[in-house]
């Protein structure tokens, strides 16, 4: 059976409690749009409140520390996220990789910590503009993914991959559907190589300037199982435009 498209909103460093009304509105719409699986990843400070306010959608976090606990001022562990109501965590986002110098190895340890805490995990990968221009995008992204995935070959059902070209994030620029298809096919082949048949079921999301008016096209590309949405997930209105597109409903 085909999986439902998975549409995840990454609120990044946006949102105070005033934004919970957006989460509630998204949750109400998700109740009707059962053809789509919807989730939000608000900042840490809103994970618990979002879980309480929005009972139907998935709620997760944007990062975790690889250790279970300890002397790591300012960090948050995967078991803490689980305790606050998160069901998943995003790891390896390009903004974490660039702002905090996160290596593939650290991302892999974070993903393993998330799984150990019983969370699902979204592992992000993506090439820079220079890497794409040099014709190296597929090679770079598949190598990045291979090194960022948990070592266990037994976790496919808890795993989602997000392909986010760095140059498409927050820029309004998107790759062609052919380029998205080529990358997602290469990622699928890598996943099947690692996980066998279970690799066929890992959802591969596209992220980077997904908007209501380009969502249907991007979601229609080969092996695209959903979207990881930044800016357009900050209001219920624009996020719902994307969820409707994923549901195959006309937004005109």
Query: Could you give the residue numbers annotated as active site?
Result: 93, 164
Residue of 55, 170, 193, 220 interacting with ligand 13P (CB under 6 A): 170
Tell how far CA 50 is from the center of its chain: 17
Rg from Cα positions in the chain: 17
> What's the CA gap between 33 and 67, in Å, rounded?
37
Residue 224 structure tokens: 């695209």
Burial class (CB in 10 A: 0-12, 13-18, 19+), 182: middle
Residues 92-131 vs ligand 13P: string with x where CB under 6 A? -x--------------------------------------
Considering beta carbons, is residue 118 or 170 the nearer one to ligand 13P?
A: 170
Give the nearest residue (CB) to ligand 13P. Answer: 230
Query: Which range of residues in 80-88, 145-153, 183-191, 203-211 is near ligand 13P by CB under 6 A?
Result: 203-211
Asked if residue 4 lies in contact with residue 33, where contact means CB atoms within 8 angstroms, the answer is no
Does 63 bind ligand 13P (CB under 6 A)? Our answer is no
- Say if CB 102 and CB 64 are below 8 A apart: no
Residues binding ligand 13P: what is the number (CB under 6 A)?
14
Please select the residue that binds ligand 13P; options are 117, 191, 229, 246, rule is CB under 6 A: 229
Piece in contact with ligand 13P (CB under 6 A), picked from 26-34, 137-145, 223-231, 240-248: 223-231
Cβ distance to ligand 13P smaller for residue 76 or 232: 232
CA 217 to chain CA centroid, nearest Å: 18
Binding status of residue 207 toward ligand 13P by CB under 6 A: yes
DSSP helix/strand/coil, 58: strand
25 in helix, strand or coil?
helix
Residues making contact with ligand 13P (CB under 6 A): 10, 93, 164, 169-170, 207-210, 228-232
């Amino acid at each position: 059976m085909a999986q439902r498209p998975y549409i995840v909103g990454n609120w990044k460093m946006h949102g105070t409690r005033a934004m919970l009304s957006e989460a509630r509105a998204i949750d109400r719409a998700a109740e009707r749009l059962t053809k789509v699986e919807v989730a939000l990843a608000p900042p840490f400070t809103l994970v618990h409140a979002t879980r309480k306010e929005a009972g139907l959608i998935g709620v997760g976090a944007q990062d975790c520390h690889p250790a279970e606990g300890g002397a790591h001022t300012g960090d948050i562990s995967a078991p803490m996220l689980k305790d606050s109501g998160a069901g998943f965590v995003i790891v390896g986002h390009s903004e974490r990789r660039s702002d905090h110098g996160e290596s593939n190895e650290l991302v892999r340890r974070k993903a393993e910590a998330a799984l150990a805490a019983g969370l699902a995990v979204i592992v992000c990968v993506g090439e820079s503009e220079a890497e794409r221009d040099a014709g190296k995008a597929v090679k770079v992204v598949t190598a990045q993914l291979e090194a960022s995935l948990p070592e266990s070959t037994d976790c496919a059902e808890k795993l989602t991959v997000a392909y986010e070209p760095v140059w498409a994030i927050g820029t309004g620029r998107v790759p062609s559907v052919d380029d998205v298809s080529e990358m997602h096919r290469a990622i699928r082949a890598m996943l099947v190589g690692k996980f066998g048949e279970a690799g066929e079921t890992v959802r591969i999301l596209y992220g980077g300037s997904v908007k209501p008016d380009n969502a249907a096209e991007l979601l229609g590309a080969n092996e695209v199982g959903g979207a990881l949405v930044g800016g357009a997930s900050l209001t219920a209105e624009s996020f719902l435009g994307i969820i409707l597109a994923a549901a195959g409903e006309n937004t005109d």
